[in-house]
Amino acid sequence: MEINILQGKEGASLAQGLAVIIDVYRAFTLECYAFAAGCEAIVPVGDLDEALKLKNRHPDWLFIGERGGAITPGADFGNSPADIRDADLAGKTLIHTTSAGTQGLDRAKTAADTVITASFVNARAVADYIRAESPETVSIVAMGEAGLRPTDEDTLCAEYIRALLLGDAPDPAVYLDKLKAAGAHLTDPAKGHIYPRGPEDLALCLAVNRFDFVIENTDAVIDGQPIRLNRRVNCPSVKPTDQQ
């Protein structure tokens, strides 16, 4: 198995084989909490205007929108795992557009055979899923800040997943100091207007291996229109942690 770590939007465009798109702070952490809260499916969209049009066509779908960390006008939720964890999402379909993570999905679908998401909260499940699929090539894409600049949290998550795939058993605790430093913007009082639940979001993002499922990005048809959906795929061999 060839394992490559790539960075940002450019890396996502180059992804081959099984692509793993990482966004720790906060998109793909949020999606794990959304599926844990019972949501049926998530429609990830890179372009904000396209997301708004989709919301207009499907007013019953909940809209999660973020640019520059802040909630976008017209969205039901910002990109806050804490808000999503506390929401009633049973049976709901969500529209999700962000500055980095959903941009990566848009690009990876072009050349990759299989596309999944990842963050620290389901990293071990991701590694188990990849082992089960046994692809020749794995492209692990750390999306970074707006898909343009590498960030410690996404790169560390990529390195952690690679280590698991290589048979190592790294202690995630060794990453925590760097992860907390990388997430300092979430706890900065001066940015509280952008991240009103930032401290809670940070804690939820650092619940390493909390979930025993992965999120696949797949083709679907809704109302006769082709669309890409994120769906939950359980990995029963993974024992989730009991972190709250």
For residue 237, how many other CB atoms are within 10 A of its CB?
12
Does 244 fall in a domain?
no
**What is the count of structural domains for the chain?**
1
User: Which domain, by its residues, includes 39?
Assistant: 2-234
Does 243 fall in a domain?
no
CA distances from 206 to 89, 177, 182, 186, 244 (A): 22, 11, 11, 12, 10
Does 121 fall in a domain?
yes
Give every CB contact of residue 46 below 8 A, 6+ residues apart in sequence.
Answer: 97, 102, 103, 105, 106, 107
Check: pTM over 0.75? Answer yes or no. Answer: yes
Does 242 fall in a domain?
no
- 3-state percent helix, strand, coil for the chain, nearest multiple of 5: 40, 25, 35
Give the pLDDT confidence of 47-97 residue by residue, as tens digits. 999 999 999 999 999 999 999 999 999 999 999 999 999 999 999 999 999
3-class secondary structure, 75 = coil
CATH of the domain at 104: 3.90.1560.10
Give the pLDDT confidence of 93-126 residue by residue, as tens digits. 999 999 999 999 999 998 999 999 999 999 999 9
